[in-house]
Amino acid sequence: MNDILFERRGVAGVVTLNRPDALNAISHAMVHAFAEQLAAWEGDAAVTRVVVTAAGGRAFCAGGDLRALYDLGRAGRYDEALQYWRDEYRLNAIIKRYRKPYVAIVDGIAFGGGVGLAVHGSHRVAGDGARFAMPEVGIGFFPDVGATWFLPRLAGEAGTWCALTGERIDADDASALGLATHRVASSRLPELLDGLCGAVPVDALLAAFAESPGIGPIQAHRDAVGRLFGADRVEDILSALDAASLAAASDADFARRAAAAIRTKSPTSLKVALAQLRRGKRLDFAACLRSEFRIVSRVATGHDFYEGIRAVIVDKDNSPAWRPPTLDAVSDADVEGYFAPVPAELDLS
């Protein structure tokens, strides 16, 4: 298929996400093809590493095919939508467990499902234009594709900031936080790709190309992030941000912007996201993905996900009517319900 291309170049299996008009959003067919090719290359002794790139220059991958999922849900075809997530989460697990070096070269936006295609690999290269984000709470969804695992493991409370605000993380912050393993200038990425197709060991080659990251916006406010995002209730985080925004301190504007961003998101999504991150600290990777499938099984039949996509992608009025509309209307019992077992659990075997 033309939306995702596979090529043997020297000792490398090269994947090119090739749907630039859709910002390389990953469709169900792309998920299937990707998983099948990874399995084939894992058993091919002539392939010593996998390199994932993207066409178009603007995006590595903007995430899942939200319009397709919206159409399935509006038609009541929930089982088909859930099969997409089953297969996507299985692909995340395949990448996480891959026995050969897996190098994702990110030099554009990587949102949601796009982060999942990169962050679980053994090596993640951030070019100058790399922008990582988990913006799901802004469309009535939640940070998935293994975010239950990787967000709580970022330094301080950066993962909580990321999940609740949905804001972008630049290449320097991504490198400092560990979302990226190597920071490489965009001008050198073609040369790096050529090198990765040769016999030089991956670690040695990346070390030769990598540069020290600068201080990104999150690193500049890392103490404030750790202090303001540590509570276990969204309401308490907002209270801390509001107080900080009124203080005569260098973090006041940062706190004000964060609070304003959070208040635009789905109240249900915010509470579910914070709960999943707190739980994720204690879970292994497979348990995190199973937990996410339990959540998505409820989200897929709910209201806010489809309302969020309607407001952002379909009608583009950017005025979602969340249900319920306020944080205090989302009870602890409501949140707990998203984590309950489902009849057909996610099978990662």
Catalytic residue among 88, 107, 144, 173: 144
The three state secondary structure string of the chain is CCCEEEEEECCEEEEEECCHHHCCCECHHHHHHHHHHHHHHHCCCCCCEEEEEECCCCEEECCECHHHHHHHHHCCCHHHHHHHHHHHHHHHHHHHHCCCCEEEEECCEEECHHHHHHHCCCEEEECCCCEEECCHHHHCCCCCCCHHHHCCCCCCCHHHHHHHHCCCEEHHHHHHHCCCCEECCHHHHHHHHHHHCCCCCHHHHHHHHCCCCCCCHHHHCHHHHHHHCCCCCHHHHHHHHHHHHHCCCCCHHHHHHHHHHHCCCCHHHHHHHHHHHHHHCCCCHHHHHHHHHHHHHHHCCCCHHHHHHHHHHHCCCCCCCCCCCCHHHCCHHHHHHCCCCCCCCCCCC
For the question of residue 113 being annotated catalytic, the response is yes
For the question of residue 144 being annotated catalytic, the response is yes
Catalytic residue among 13, 64, 73, 114: 64
- State the catalytic residues: 64, 113, 136, 144
